Every structure is written in C-alpha cells, then in structure tokens.
Amino acid sequence: MQKQPGDWIFRAVKGALIGSGFILPGISGGALAAVFGLYERIITFLANPFKRFKENVLYFMPVGIGALLGIFLLSFAISFVLGEHESVALWFFVGAIVGTLPSLWRDAAKEGRTPVDVVITVIAFAAMLAFLLFGAPLFSKIEASFGAWVLAGALIGLGLIVPGLSPSNFLIYLGLYKGMSDGIKHGDLSVLVPILIGLVLIIALLSKFMAYIFKIAYAKLFHAIFGIVLASTVMIVPTDFKDFTIIHITISVMLLALGTWLGWWMSRLEDKMNTK
C-alpha cells in the first residue's frame, strides 16, 4: 500500500519528539519510542538491519530526519529551555507521555496479561524510581575527552535500547551535558564523531539481546517497560515552582493539555494505521 504524505509527516513528528528524549533531561528517547509505538520495530530493525532492509529504511527515514531535526533544533534552544522556563516546558512532555499510556498498556497485553506481569510492572516502576532518585550520587564529573564522548554516545544508545533511561540525566551528572549540547550546536566533529562511535557500539552490542527478549518474553518485557515509563514520567514532573506567576501556571496547564491531547491523538492514529 502506498504511504500518504501525511504518514511521513506523522512519523517525522514522532521522530522529533523521540529525538528530544536524547537531549532533554529526564526524558528517554526509548520511552518515547515505546509510547509512540515504534520501540519494538526499531529494536527488531537494529538487531537485524539487513532483514527487510529497503522497507525498514523507507519506514524509518522520516523518523530519523525528525529525530535529527529535534536534536539539532533543541541544541540551539537548550540554554533557553533549561533556564527559567524549564518547569513550564516540561509539562508538554509529561502530557505527551500521559496521553499515550492507555495505548501502551493495551500494547503490553497484546499477547496476554497475567498477575505476574502486573507484579513485574510494579517492580520495574519501583526499581527505576529508586535508581533515578538515588543513583545520582554514584556518578562524579569527568573531564571532556575522546573517551568521555564515546561514553556519552553509549549512554545515548542506552537511552534508545532501555526505555525510561534518560541519557541527559547521566550526562549532567558526569558534567558532559553542556559540552555535548554546544558540540551539537556548533557541529564540532571532535564531539560528534566519538558520540556516534559510542552510539553505534552500544546498539550493536545490545539490540540483538533486546530483540531476543522480546521474542521469548514479550508480555513481561513490555510490562517492565510500562513500569519504567511510569517512573521516568514521575521524575520529569516539575517540582520547582519558585517565582511561578498565574501566567506560568496558565501556560503550564495549556502545555499539559496540549501534550496529553497530542499523545492521545498520535496513539489513536497509530492504532488506526496499524489496523489498515
């Protein structure tokens, strides 16, 4: 069936939002890929890149273009977004995830749901929440270097492979975040090349493993992903309301509503396309 231009635009928008998960703190590209219904297909493609190669390349081309645009455009605006307006802007992403949770919960039960699966969801939620809350002291700042940027790329790859893992959080802990965003903004190859190396290495090492787990334990893995997504969503809910005015509150509520509607609409549209 021939794809409509709107389908390309739809996937490019999802790609841009997923790309934002690689650069915005507290947000996981893998989690956003999961809530937008792309995670399983991405992992399958990465694990077997030459299987249905042309079909997959054409399918993921708008996603990749959108992701790159999302990353590069955000790198220019990062200082603004992470300044005094961060607590306002993040409400949009909270809403986008919340709006897709019903669809993600249905997807988790595609091959059935047992009490054990629900327990796995709770355990995954608690474990990820504890890790995100108490994991920060385990990290210390490191100096920017070729090896440090390879590590940054590996963390970004983990953010795609492991839903709910926010690479930007770890990059902030390691003191590499600002250097990364500046490197992307200026197209600095001494930053971009090792990041790409780390990204490719971690994907090559882990994508087949994740694809195998999906094959033998789909329901349990997806319920774990759902718990991880819930925990990462809790962690990005803004808590700093210092100097908030009625204008800030109004805009936050509007962004939350807009994000929730967009997430719900995109998940509904995805379901309709998958049934065609």
- pLDDT tens digits, 150-200: 998 998 888 888 776 667 767 766 778 778 878 887 888 998 999 999 999
Q: Is the pTM of this model over 0.85?
A: no
**Residue 215 banded pLDDT, cuts 50, 70, 90:** confident
Q: Provide the b/e sequence for 232-249 (b: ≥16 CB within 10 Å).
A: bbebbeeeeeeeeeeeee
Q: Which residue bears the tokens 């307006």?
A: 85
Q: How far apart are CA 181 and CA 72, in angstroms?
A: 9
> Where are the domains positioned within the chain?
5-274
The dihedral built from the CA positions of residue 24, 78, 260 and 94, taken in this order, carries a sign that is: positive
Average pLDDT, the chain: 80
